[in-house]
A and B are shown apart, each in its own frame.
Chain A
Amino acid sequence: MPLTYKYSNGQKYGEPTRGRFSPLRSLTRLVVGGAILGVEELMGRLETWEEEIDQKPVDTIPAEMVVYDVVDESVTVEKNEFEPLTDSTSARHVLVGWIFDSQSKMGQRLAALRRFERRASRRLAAPLKPLGRSRLGQSLNTRFEDLVRRGEYEIARLAEIGKVEEYRSRKLALTATTETVDESIDFLTDNEELQELITMQGVGIAGEALEEMRERTVSADDFFESVVRALLRRTPRKQLEAPSREVRLRSVRIRPPEDEQ
């Protein structure tokens, strides 16, 4: 059952758009859906990779390196503990360290800011109470409440649209991906030139291997023969005896059997 949402002007939202196709809207859905699916997939992969790294033996990290948690501020660095920065590798380490350190510090500062905000509102609530009860205060309060209500409605409306659109965007992106992949596979399997190329490649490799094997057996023919001749104290063969040119030519061609001649 399709999700529906009614705008304030009565227009239904999220209905099947057959007959009134909007390229811009579809494109936006494709982009949004692709981004959502992509981010989800990326998050899943990241989590898996992190788990895989954790499960690997610790010997991937050099023993002399200090392993520390960037969030933990208790780590103290002794003076003159590290070598002075001399090369580009050290500079890169500094940059990478700064990125991770800033990230963790930012998180800590935001947490501190939230704590401060809660503490301040608790402290200011009592002194500001009489101001809120005054006529001016009540009037301002009513207008503020109106503003909040309108904001909440707008937020709820956007959330509803988002819910419907996310659903449709995901479906669109999924369909687009699946069909594109299927079509790509179909194209690759139907493409005769590509198939020929793959076959030629395979045949080429097989042909080279076969030729090498044949060359080696021809060498081995001569080699073993010379060994056996040496063992039997026969004179070594200077040149391989050959049939007449006519016979050789005939033998490499496919000729009808002799009685058919």
Chain B
Amino acid sequence: MKMGPLRGYQGYYAGFTSRLLAMIIDTVILVLTYVGLAWFISVALRILPLGRIFGFSLSALLGQQESGQVLSTETVIAVFTLSTIVYYVFLWTMTGQTLGMILLGLRVVTIEGRRLTIWRAILRFIGYMIAALPFFLGFVWVLVDDRRQGWHDKIAGTYVAYVWAARPDERFLVHALENIEGERNDNNFN
């Protein structure tokens, strides 16, 4: 596939805000999906007489008694953690983009610009946890790193690139800088 010349910040290291926003979008998508699924499964397990149909109870199979909570908290946590890993690892490996990243026009690639292997994707996810442990310092590291890499990127040898013809909104920047300048002047005056 031939491609035209690179435009704007295309292929450059993506910054903290874009990545944070993409992560928030992913989190929202995952949480909404989990809540919906949990509700559906709970209702289905309560309503469907699976025990009578198949000769065994799915609730019992999942380690629960017939009465009370349908799914145990441990089961829920295990399922959700596993599906989160699958979500990230699968999408990073397949396209290098999660849904939030697609919206923000970002892609995670190796430092050579290639797509991630499954092992590298798993390593990056482990890096996520390590980066989150000291109060998310590993993520904030993106703000000070020259290559805009977080700890997880350093661990997995990856970086996040803008895949669209990224360009800053000049008016937005000017407006933000004017606000800061105004506040500084006010402080000096006072």
Q: How many residues of A contact B (CB 8 A)?
A: 39
Whether B176 pairs with A223 at a CB distance below 8 angstroms is yes
Q: Contacting A247 at CB < 8 Å: which of B111, B115, B170? A: B111
Main secondary structure of the interface of A (DSSP, over half): helix
Task: Produce 1/0 per residue, A224-247, CB < 8 A to B.
Answer: 110011001010000011110111
Q: Contacting A221 at CB < 8 Å: which of B17, B109, B170? A: B17
Whether A247 pairs with B168 at a CB distance below 8 angstroms is no
B91 proximity list for chain A (CB < 8 A): none
Of the listed stretches B38-46, B72-80, B155-163, name the one at the interface; the rest are far from the partner chain.
Answer: B155-163
B146 proximity list for chain A (CB < 8 A): 241
Main secondary structure of the interface of B (DSSP, over half): loop
Q: Contacting B15 at CB < 8 Å: which of A215, A225, A232, A248? A: A225
* Chain A-chain B contacts (Cβ-Cβ < 8 Å), number: 131
- Given contacts A218-B166, A219-B168, A232-B144, A243 and B12 within 8 Å (CB-CB): yes
Whether A222 pairs with B173 at a CB distance below 8 angstroms is yes
Whether B114 pairs with A257 at a CB distance below 8 angstroms is yes
Cβ of B27 < 8 Å from any Cβ of A?
Answer: no
Q: Contacting A219 at CB < 8 Å: which of B11, B109, B176? A: B176
Whether B173 pairs with A219 at a CB distance below 8 angstroms is yes
A253 proximity list for chain B (CB < 8 A): 1, 3
* Interface, chain A (partner B; CB < 8 A): 210, 212-225, 228-229, 232, 234, 240-243, 245-259, 261
List 5 other contacts, CB 8 Å, given A241-B13, A248-B6, A250-B113. Answer: A213-B104, A218-B168, A219-B168, A254-B95, A257-B114
